[in-house]
Amino acid sequence: MAYALTLTHLYPDHLNLYGDTGNLIVLRRRCQWMGIDCTVKTLTMGEVAQSGQTDLYFMGGGQDTDQVAVVEDFHQLKSDAIRADTEAGVVFLGVCGGYQLMGNTFLMGNGEATPGLGIINVNTRAPGTDVKQRCIGNLIAEINSTAYAEMQTMYTTPHAIPRTLVGFENHSGQTYLGEGVQPLAKTIAGFGNNATAEYEGARYKNVFGSYMHGSLLPKNPHFADYLIGLALRRRYPEATLPVLGDTEELAAHAYVVQRYGA
Amino acid sequence: MNQLLLIPIVAFAKLLTLALRLSGRGSGTALPGYLIGRYFPFVLEALVSQIPVVVVITGTNGKTTSQTMLSAVLDQVPEAKVLRNKAGANLSQGILSELLKQSNALGQLDFTHAVLEIEEATLPRIAALLKPDIIAVTNLYRDQLDAYGEIDRTEKLIRDGIAQCPTAAVVVNGDDPRTSRLTQGLGNATYYMSLAPEYARFLPYEGKLNRRNVDSQGLEATNICINEDLTTDFSVQGLMNGEAINLPRATTVSPGFFHVYNGLTAIAIAHLLGIDGPTAAAGLQAFKPAFGRGEILTRQQDSKQVNYRLLLIKNPASFSLSLELLRNIPALKLILAINDNTADSKDVSWLWDSEVERLNQADIDWVLCTGLRAKDMVVRLKYALNTPPGPIPAIESIRQAIDLSFEQSNSGDTVFVLPTYTAMLEFRKLMGKTLDVV
């Protein structure tokens, strides 16, 4: 049976810092290598989102001015569809600004908190007197056990996958998780959600938020497959993924763990 | 003013530089400038104000090349004596160290022109002291985001720097939306450097090309032709202060579209300094590429000789454009050398913003990746290439990568090397060339 998926890139013109596009390149290529027919659509400023049109949303981060520019559009033209879709289990990956905008509040360029969509119960605020620094650097975190267990069920044949996620973070916003939200991973090196907590990212239903920008999916092929698998199983409940040869990706992953993991 | 006070300070700086050299603790490019800038802040202004014409060049890419091109143009003028800071010494302490080094024991400087490249964030800190006559901004690309946070901020910093110099003439990239709006709301005379639209559309600017002011006040390059040896020919036409400019042919030996902007910038500044177009074009032709920017290094062993052509990559823009240049090279042999040290950007996600897919149109003989982040580069290539030329090696050691590339090359081959900044420095060092040779 031929599988097909539609991926939607939100605001590719405005929210595309730090190699966010790389995540789409990786998803599309891996689908292609797995024999999944993959369509990538974009939704940008002024376009109305319709629910039921996509299997996976991706939203990256932007410059402060760009993030400010998309907020109103996001609330007025996109929120209804995204809310309906994600409540129904559509996969959503938000990185940095895309993560913050899915929370209850997020940080504007002037340091003020503004309402987000409130789909993930997290709050983001400016570094205050307690936390002064911008969180920048290589980030390594251990995937939460529920997600990790589920990741391993995605493949047609059993397949050893890393327990960690690696990436690079660069954010001033400090994100705090509320009730009902699972952290995506536990920080091993770097900051993650905020400079004092020990967790990186968040998950609610199939909505994922992370501060690992750009390099998130290229060096974490297991997480890319997990997202593809979750999206696929909504449409084809029996679907499993063929195992791809990930020597290069896992070597890059292992290098970061070895060099920055101490 | 404090000319007498300058004497002991300059003497101290010279002694310190000598001590640093003798003790082998570096070439003394930063520490004297740092100490004196910190404890005697008036010295920078006292020294630079002795030089009649001060030109400042900033921007994300092309500072060094533009500076070198303009110096080559000024070399055509017999009475010109040019002081310039070395690439890399473009923070305030580096500039001050150079001024101290070039002054005599009385703190006097005998130069007609200073051509200084200045790091973007440093400009607003010292613009008021330098009082430049001309400020050139090459372009503003996303670069070193982890160092400065955001390009919006860099743009604001440069604008703040220009605002401190109301009488300076400003030369900007007229196609780049960010640089072409820098003087909006400021009174500075502004000149726009531009490529004819059929070329400018290849360039990965953020936002729409901005050509509003190009026709009334600026230079445009047309008939751009990249030659097989990667030198680039172009014609220049334009209007500056009501004067028509028409140069049928100029050549830059540095390869690619970027360097056409740098050439235009040098020609425009030369015009503002009263140097005519043909003289400027002769200077451009005589100029030698700055280290790492198109220079060729040769390795010879027994009867075998392999040339390595270095094209520095710093960010998605320079990477994408270098690949555009390599599309037409037959049997391309390519080394991608990626480090993640502070001067390179600690964050390598820019590899994913770079259009590595442009290599799909190239005739690749072989490619290998090296440097601290060789493995990340291999992953990027894996996802970019439709038909990879076999497994792509990731060799962390640049020394080993050079050895392997030499072994698998034939005598007379040219290997293209695209290194990040510190990888370029290491590559040159391993080839027996250091920065001081420049």
Identify from B151, B346, B347, B356 which residue to disrupt to test chain A contact, counting A C-beta atoms within 10 A and taking the largest count.
B347
Give the pLDDT score at B436: 45
Q: Collect all residues of chain B within an 8 Å Cβ-Cβ radius of residue A68.
A: none
pLDDT in tens, B122-168: 999 999 999 999 999 999 886 545 444 567 888 999 999 999 999 99
What's the pLDDT at B253? Answer: 82
Mutate to test the interface with B, among A68, A215, A219, A253 (most CBs of B within 10 A): A215
Q: A49-76: per-residue pLDDT in tens?
A: 999 999 999 999 877 777 777 888 999 9
ipTM over 0.85: yes
Beta-carbon separation of B349 and A16 below 8 A: no
- Both tokens of A34, joined, read 């797995």
**pLDDT, average across residues B332-353:** 93
* ∠ Cα B291 B295 B299 (to 5°): 110
pLDDT above 80 (res A197):
no
So what's the pLDDT on residue B185?
93
Chain A residues with CB-CB distance to B394 below 8 A:
248, 251
Contacts of A63 in chain B (CB under 8 A): 150-152
Most distant CA pair in chain A: distance in Å?
A: 57
Would you call A64 and B152 a contact, using CB atoms and an 8 Å cutoff? yes
Q: Which residues of B touch A33 (CB under 8 A)?
A: none
Verify whether the Cβ–Cβ distance B346 to A168 is below 8 Å.
yes
Residue numbers of B between 117 and 146 with CB closer than 8 Å to A? 142, 145-146
Alpha helices per DSSP H over B151-292: 151-163, 177-180, 197-200, 257-272, 277-286
Cβ of residue B348 closer than 8 Å to a chain A Cβ:
yes
A234, HSE (Cβ side, Cα atoms, 13 Å): 21
Q: C-alpha dihedral over B315, B319, B320, B326, to 10 degrees?
A: 170
Which of B349, B144, B382 is closest to A167 using CA atoms?
Answer: B349
Residues of A with CB below 8 A from B146's CB?
Answer: 136-137, 168, 170
Give pLDDT tens digits for B238-280. 999 999 999 999 998 877 788 899 999 999 999 999 999 999 9
B:370-409 residues touching chain A, CB 8 A cutoff: 375-376, 378-380, 382-384, 392, 394
Between CA A175 and CA A188 the distance in angstroms is 17
Q: Model-level pTM?
A: 0.76
Asked whether the beta carbons of A105 and A124 are under 8 A apart, the reply is yes
pLDDT digits (tens, 9 = 90+) for A202-256: 999 999 999 998 679 999 999 999 999 999 999 999 999 999 999 999 999 999 9
Count of other CB atoms within 10 angstroms of residue B283: 24
- The pLDDT tens digits of the residues spanning B71-102 come to 999 999 999 999 999 767 888 888 998 998 89
Contact (Cβ atoms closer than 8 angstroms) between residue B180 and residue B210: yes
Judge: B379–A134 Cβ closer than 8 Å, yes or no: no
Say if CB B370 and CB B336 are below 8 A apart: yes
Q: What is the distance between the alpha carbons of residues B39 and B43, in angstroms, rounded to a whole number?
A: 9
CA A210/CA A18 separation, integer angstroms: 13
Q: What is the pLDDT of residue B148?
A: 47
Whose tokens are 């659509």? That residue is A41
Burial (CB count <10 Å: 0-12, 13-18, 19+), residue A18: buried
CA distance B212 to A187: 49
Segment B384-399 shows an average pLDDT of 93
In the predicted structure, residue B290 carries a pLDDT above the cut 70: no
